[in-house]
Structure 1
Amino acid sequence: MNRDSLPLILALDVDSLATARRTMDVVKGKVDYVKIGPRLFALGGTSFVKEMVDYGFKVFLDLKLHDIPNTIKIAVEAFGDIGLWSLTLHAAGGRRMMEEAVAARDKMGSSMKLFGISVLTSFSEEVWAEATPGCPMDEALKKRAWLCGDCGMDGVVCSPLDLPIIASVASPDLLKVVPGVRLTPGGDDQTRVATPCDAFRNGADYVVMGRPIYTAPDIDQAMSLISQSIQEGLSK
Structure 2
Amino acid sequence: MSRVIVALDFQDRLDALQLVGQLDPARCRLKVGKEMFTRFGPGFVQVLQGRGFDVFLDLKFHDIPNTAAAAVEAAADLGVWMVNVHASGGRHMLEACARQLAVRNADERPLLYGVTVLTSLTDNEIREIGWSGSSEEAVTRLAGLAHESGLDGVVCSAMEAELLKSRFGPGLGLVTPGIRPAFAVQGDQQRVMTPAKALAAGSDYLVIGRPITRAEDPMEALAKIEAEIAG
TM-score category, normalised to shorter length? over 0.9
User: Which residue is 1:221 aligned to?
Assistant: 220
SS, match of residue 81 in structure 1:
helix
- The 8 Å contact of residues 114 and 155 in structure 1, kept in 2 or not, is answered as yes
The 10-residue stretch of structure 1 (138-147 or 58-67) with the greater mean CA deviation from structure 2:
138-147
1:220 maps to amino acid: M
Cα drift, residue 137 of structure 1 = 2.2
Cα drift, residue 133 of structure 1 = 4.4
CA deviations on 1:160-194 (whole Å, 9 max, x unpaired) are 11112322322311111111001136252111101
Cα drift, residue 147 of structure 1 = 1.4
The 10-residue stretch of structure 1 (169-178 or 18-27) with the greater mean CA deviation from structure 2:
169-178
Alignment of 1:58-207 (within 5 A): 58-109=54-105, 110-184=108-182, 186-207=185-206
User: Where in structure 2 are there 5+ consecutive unaligned residues?
Assistant: none
1:215 maps to amino acid: R
Alignment of 1:210 with 2:209, yes or no, is yes
CA deviations on 1:171-227 (whole Å, 9 max, x unpaired) are 311111111001136252111101000000100111000100011123232112100
The 10-residue stretch of structure 1 (191-200 or 42-51) with the greater mean CA deviation from structure 2:
42-51
SS, match of residue 113 in structure 2:
strand
Cα drift, residue 36 of structure 1 = 0.1
Q: Return the alpha-carbon distance in structure 2 between the equivalents of residues 76 and 30 of structure 1.
A: 26
Cα drift, residue 111 of structure 1 = 1.9
Alignment of 1:39-58 (within 5 A): 39-58=35-54
User: Which residue is 1:33 aligned to?
Assistant: 29
SS, match of residue 88 in structure 1:
strand
Q: Percent identity?
A: 37
The 10-residue stretch of structure 1 (134-143 or 154-163) with the greater mean CA deviation from structure 2:
134-143
Q: Return the alpha-carbon distance in structure 2 between the equivalents of residues 223 and 180 of structure 1.
A: 16
TM-score using structure 1 length: 0.91
Aligned residue pairs: how many?
228
- The 8 Å contact of residues 80 and 108 in structure 1, kept in 2 or not, is answered as no
- The 8 Å contact of residues 19 and 218 in structure 2, kept in 1 or not, is answered as no
Cα drift, residue 17 of structure 1 = 1.2
- The 8 Å contact of residues 77 and 108 in structure 1, kept in 2 or not, is answered as no
Compared with structure 1, are the counterparts of its residues 214 and 114 closer, same or farther at alpha carbon in structure 2 (3 Å cutoff)?
Answer: same
- The 8 Å contact of residues 10 and 35 in structure 1, kept in 2 or not, is answered as yes
Q: Return the alpha-carbon distance in structure 2 between the equivalents of residues 14 and 53 of structure 1.
A: 17
2:167 maps to amino acid: V
Cα drift, residue 51 of structure 1 = 1.1
Cα drift, residue 30 of structure 1 = 5.7
